[in-house]
Amino acid sequence: MNYTFDFSVIWNNIGLFTAGAFVTIRLSLIAIAFGLILGIVGALFRTSENRFLNWLAIAYVEAIRNTPFLIQLFFIFFGLPNLGIKLTAEQAAILSLAVNFGAYSTEIVRAGVESIHKGQVEAGLALGFKPLSVFRYIVLTPALSNISPALVGQIILAVLFTSVVSQIAAEDLTFAGDYLNSRTFRSFEIYFTISLIYLAIVWLIKGLTYAIEKRFFEFAKYRR
């Protein structure tokens, strides 16, 4: 093997990697936040006795879970402008990631909601809790606690999915690596470094998720 490792390309362009990493983190956090809201709403629809809302949620979940994320991304970025809806690369990336994460989290949250015994809901209402308080403290909080491992796993996948948005020129970490590789051809050094940065980002967001989870559940437990 005559290959000579040269990581100077990394140190000389550290600002490019830093900027790309911050874009990746921003896209991930915003998309996960909106996607989780979609997931909670979708779970409410899935567990609703209203057949139309239930069907609507099923159609959404099936459409997203059974089509490639790349096609969803291309549809939003390249397809929607034909209908007069023009989005920047970053806006399209956030929307695609949020919609995709929302579909998967819908089923995860639904499983958590259905794990709560109906008797607990009836008891809460009998004690005078308002329906919103019952849902928040008696249904949603224990449900999220029950499904937190699966939800964290899906959050990690959502972070890794951000690497695909470079295909529409969203200037994330992968885009930065591709750009630099096309000019230096130091593929091993560049993609090895990117892998390490993604690993760090995943651990950062995973740690943030666990911290928020612990604080939220302890706070909710205290309030109850």
Tell me the CA distances in angstroms from 145 to 31, 108, 140, one per residue in order: 21, 12, 8
Instruction: Say which residues have a Cβ less than 8 Å from residue 152's Cβ, sequence separation at least 6.
Output: 206, 209, 210, 213
pLDDT tens-digit readout, 152-190 = 899 999 999 999 999 998 999 999 999 999 999 999 999
pLDDT tens-digit readout, 48-82 = 889 999 999 999 999 999 999 999 999 999 999 99
Distance CA 120, CA 42 (A): 22
Residue 93, classed as helix, strand or coil, is helix
Q: What is the pTM of this model?
A: 0.86
Which H or E run includes 181?
helix 173-184
Count CB atoms within 10 A of the CB of residue 91.
13
